[in-house]
Amino acid sequence: MSLSTFATLLERLAFTPQRLAKERLLAASFAQIPDPDRGLTLAALTGDLKLRQVTPSLLRGLTETRADAQLFRYSYDFVGDLAETIALIWPEGTRSDPPLSEVIHELSTTPRTRLPALIATRLDSLGPSERYAYLKLATGALRVGVSARLARSAFASWANLALPQVEEIWHALTPPYLDLFAWAAGTAPRPEAAARAPFRPVMLSTPTDLDQLSALDPAAYAAEWKWDGIRVQAVSDAGTRRLYSRTGEDISPAFPDIIDLMTFDGTLDGELLIRRGDQIASFGDLQQRLNRKTVTPALLRSHPAGLRLYDVLIWNGQDLRDQPYDARRATLAQAVATLDPRIDLSPNLPFTTWDDLAALRAAPPADVIEGVMIKRRDSPYLAGRIRGPWFKWKRDPHLIDAVLMYAQRGHGKRSGYYSDFTFGVWNGDDLVPVGKAYFGFTDEELRELDRFVRTNTVERFGTVRSVARTRVVEVAFEGLNRSTRHKSGVAMRFPRINRIRLDKPAAEADHLSTLQAMLPKDD
């Protein structure tokens, strides 16, 4: 498979809006592309290629040596996507069409000091479409509207396998997945590495509300708090202990204190939290330990981790996922009784009616509770997001009125619009930025905001525009933490633009003191 063929596939995926159409397109491609390129294509779409990812600053620096720097900046401001801008502005050279496998091998093995020269040489020999595909591979940001799950689903469809069969073994496999494709073709048995896949796909919930719940029998469901940490899977198998995020990322190095507590034999599902005695700290405290390769003794003392368990998948060699929730819960309760107190059981909530549960949800005992989880008592543990067995009923989001301050172009399908917005609130007579949002609005609201930015720009900073401080937006967010990285001293969790407030003047937007009053009490 040549790079040009890969580029054509990316273009077709990017311009195919329907999910099922993308899946069919990928399934057909897997039937036509030879090994190892189809496995490399699958890995590129699932984000599992281990390349020496190239930074935007490196690419900008390279481009400014081959094209007029000012023209490049103006073009980038207009196009909004760095790879697309470079692909179009890079000078034409002698065309070549290298194999995809050769390109990926180069990007994954070339020392960092030699990457700039390699990339420049490759760009010199490629056409615009191939340059675009090459740069997307190099930066690890394909952005063609294909999630990792959709790519795996397309493979399963082509292979005539159930998606759970693929996801069950996925994390034990490595690109280019020759054994996986051989198994799918019926020329080899199930991959041997899959026999002890360390990570198992997690079961996910779907959002709900009181109106939807009213059609269900509350006696058929159990409920527990939804804690504001991160979902993890704790695996202890044959002496190997690992802690995984819900997407299968190994986060063990950041939490050696939890690894030390995993003296069991099994796979447990729960929430990773920072615990000081009986108190659960805010998500901001947990962030201090995430994404670290090592943790200092001081941080272990000041930010001790704990694990609050929801479910058990495997225990003492027995796979329990086919058992109903109530049976798994009973096994989990017995298991927790044998573990360190820093690994405990998320308690079930007492309720008879949905109104009872609504009252509990409205007055949780701690600020770090996001809402409630609702689980059907007879439900097995199923991989993925299956509507019906598990629900999440989150607390109503916080709302504030803020003033638009800056805007930046989006990426992919939004590269023609200003869709990334920074907003602020008043601190005395000054506006201070408190967050950034790039979703929540409708397509029509996006066009309205884009028009406002274009007609009210007062200053430009590269690809960022500063706008007149006249437009108010209602911002919804899930929580708030203190932050030393932001001038305002606060950081929002999952901010989104809820609506445009054309009825409100900027002077009536909220003040920083309003946000400060929302900060968790344990801060």
How do residues 177-215 score in pLDDT, each as one tens digit? 999 999 998 888 888 655 555 788 899 999 999 999 999
pTM: 0.71
Share of the chain above pLDDT 70, in %: 97
Q: Are 135 and 59 in contact (CB under 8 A)?
A: yes
The number of helix segments (H) and strand segments (E) in the chain equals 20, 22
> Any catalytic annotation for residue 226?
yes
Give residue 142's pLDDT: 81
Give residue 194's pLDDT: 55
The residue among 523 and 86 whose pLDDT is bigger is: 86
How do residues 277-329 score in pLDDT, each as one tens digit? 888 988 888 988 988 888 999 999 999 999 999 999 999 999 999 999 999 99
Q: How far apart are CA 59 and CA 83, in angstroms?
A: 9
DSSP-assigned letter for residue 80: -
Q: How far apart are CA 396 and CA 28, in angstroms?
A: 43
Whether residue 191 lies inside any domain: the answer is no
Q: Is the pLDDT of residue 509 over 50?
A: yes
What total number of domains does the chain contain? Answer: 3
110 and 125 in a single domain? The answer is yes
Can you spell out the DSSP letters for 9-57?
Answer: HHHHHHT---HHHHHHHHHHHHHHSPTTHHHHHHHHHHT-----PPPHH
298 and 376 in a single domain? The answer is yes
Q: Are 403 and 423 in contact (CB under 8 A)?
A: yes
Is 360 exposed, middle or buried (CB count within 10 Å of its CB: 0-12, 13-18, 19+)? middle
How do residues 31-63 score in pLDDT, each as one tens digit? 999 999 999 999 999 888 878 778 888 999 999
Of the candidates 22, 136, 226, 375, the residue annotated as catalytic is: 226
Nearest by Cα to 315 from 329, 339, 331: 331
466 and 414 in a single domain? The answer is yes
358 and 311 in a single domain? The answer is yes
377 and 455 in a single domain? The answer is no
Q: How far apart are CA 325 and CA 105, in angstroms?
A: 46
461 and 484 in a single domain? The answer is yes
130 and 208 in a single domain? The answer is no
Give residue 195's pLDDT: 54
Average pLDDT over residues 400-405: 94
Whether residue 189 lies inside any domain: the answer is no
Average pLDDT over residues 155-174: 87
Give residue 20's pLDDT: 92
Give residue 523's pLDDT: 44
Whether residue 144 lies inside any domain: the answer is no
Whether residue 195 lies inside any domain: the answer is no
Q: The domain spanning residue 115 has which CATH number? A: 1.10.3260.10
Give residue 25's pLDDT: 95
DSSP-assigned letter for residue 202: P
Average pLDDT over residues 414-428: 88
- For residue 388, what pLDDT band results from cuts at 50, 70 and 90? confident
Average pLDDT of the chain to the nearest whole number: 90
* 113, 424, 473 from 498: Cα distances, Å: 45, 15, 7
Q: Which of 113, 139, 165 finishes a domain? A: 139
Q: How far apart are CA 316 and CA 294, in angstroms?
A: 30
- For residue 521, what pLDDT band results from cuts at 50, 70 and 90? low
- For residue 396, what pLDDT band results from cuts at 50, 70 and 90? confident
Q: Which of 339, 374, 394 finishes a domain? A: 394
How do residues 64-80 score in pLDDT, each as one tens digit? 998 888 888 878 777 77
Give residue 517's pLDDT: 87
Q: Is the pLDDT of residue 335 over 90?
A: yes
Nearest by Cα to 203 from 72, 349, 312: 312
403 and 467 in a single domain? The answer is yes
Q: Which of 347, 378, 394 finishes a domain? A: 394
* 242, 251, 360, 446 from 263: Cα distances, Å: 12, 18, 34, 52
Buried b (16+ CB within 10 A) or exposed e, 199-237: bbbbbebeebeeeebeeeebeebbbbbbbbbebbbbbbb
Whether residue 256 lies inside any domain: the answer is yes
The boundaries of the domain holding residue 128 are 3-139
Q: Is the pLDDT of residue 274 over 90?
A: yes
How do residues 20-29 score in pLDDT, each as one tens digit? 999 999 999 9
In this structure, of 79-83, 111-115, 450-454, the range with the lowest mean pLDDT score is 79-83
Sheet of strand 390-394, all strands in order from the earlier edge strand to the far edge: 206-207, 390-394, 369-376, 221-227
300 and 366 in a single domain? The answer is yes
Tokens of 147: 């999630």
Average pLDDT over residues 464-472: 92
403 and 388 in a single domain? The answer is no
Whether residue 154 lies inside any domain: the answer is no
387 and 468 in a single domain? The answer is no
Give residue 63's pLDDT: 93
Whether residue 179 lies inside any domain: the answer is no
Q: The domain spanning residue 298 has which CATH number? A: 3.30.470.30
- For residue 468, what pLDDT band results from cuts at 50, 70 and 90? very high
Whether residue 380 lies inside any domain: the answer is yes
368 and 389 in a single domain? The answer is yes
Q: The domain spanning residue 464 has which CATH number? A: 2.40.50.140
H helix or E strand, kind and range, residue 403: strand 398-409
